[in-house]
Amino acid sequence: MNTDQFPYAAPWWLPGGNAQTLWAALASRRHFGPAPTWTRSRWSTPDGDFIDVDQARHTSRSGAPLLVLFHGLEGSSASQYAVAFADFAATHGLAFAVPHFRGCSGELNHAPRAYHSGDFEEIDWILKRFATEHPGRPLIAAGVSLGGNALMRWAAEMGASAGQRVRAVASICSPLDLAAGGHAIGRGFNRLVYTRMFMASMVPKALKKLEQHPGLFDRTALLAARDLFEFDNLFTAPLHGFRDTPDYWSRASAKPVLHQIRVPALALNARNDPFVPAASLPTPQQVGRHVTLWQPGQGGHVGFPVAHGVLGLPGNVRAMPDAVGHWLLSHL
As a whole number of angstroms, the distance between CA 21 and CA 308 comes to 17
Class of the CATH domain delimited by 17-177+253-329: alpha beta
Residue ranges of domains in the chain: 17-177+253-329, 182-252
pLDDT at 31: 86
Query: Under DSSP, is residue 316 helix (H, G, I), strand (E, B) or coil?
Result: strand
pLDDT at 13: 86
Active site residues: 145, 273, 301
As a whole number of angstroms, the distance between CA 18 and CA 209 comes to 32
As a whole number of angstroms, the distance between CA 292 and CA 42 comes to 34
pLDDT at 4: 61
∠ at Cα 92 (89, 94), nearest 5°? 50
As a whole number of angstroms, the distance between CA 321 and CA 30 comes to 10
Q: Cβ neighbours of residue 121 under 8 Å, at least 6 residues apart?
A: none
As a whole number of angstroms, the distance between CA 233 and CA 270 comes to 28
As a whole number of angstroms, the distance between CA 287 and CA 281 comes to 11
What does the radius of gyration of the chain's CA atoms come to, in whole angstroms? 19
Per-residue pLDDT of the chain (332 residues; tens, 9 = 90+): 565 688 898 988 899 999 999 988 888 888 888 999 999 999 999 999 999 999 999 999 999 999 999 999 999 999 999 999 999 999 999 999 999 999 999 999 999 999 999 999 999 999 999 999 999 999 999 999 999 999 999 999 999 999 999 999 999 999 999 999 999 999 999 999 999 999 999 999 999 999 999 999 999 999 999 999 999 999 999 999 999 999 999 999 999 999 999 999 999 999 999 999 999 999 999 999 999 999 999 999 999 998 766 555 566 888 999 999 999 999 99
Task: With both helix axes pointing from N to C terminus, report the angle between 319-329 and 80-91 in degrees, rounded to the nearest 10.
Answer: 50
pLDDT at 316: 82
Please state the separation of Cα 195 from the chain's center in Å.
Answer: 17
pLDDT at 149: 98
Question: H helices then E strands: how many in the chain?
Answer: 12, 10
Identity at 214, one-letter amino acid code = P
As a whole number of angstroms, the distance between CA 218 and CA 210 comes to 9
Identify the CA nearest to 39 among candidates 59, 64, 25, 65: 59
As a whole number of angstroms, the distance between CA 131 and CA 48 comes to 21
- Residue 12 vs residues 16, 25, 38: alpha-carbon distances, Å: 10, 18, 35
CB environment 238-275: b (16+ within 10 A), e (fewer): bbbebeebbebbeebbbbebbbbbbbbbbbbbbebbbb
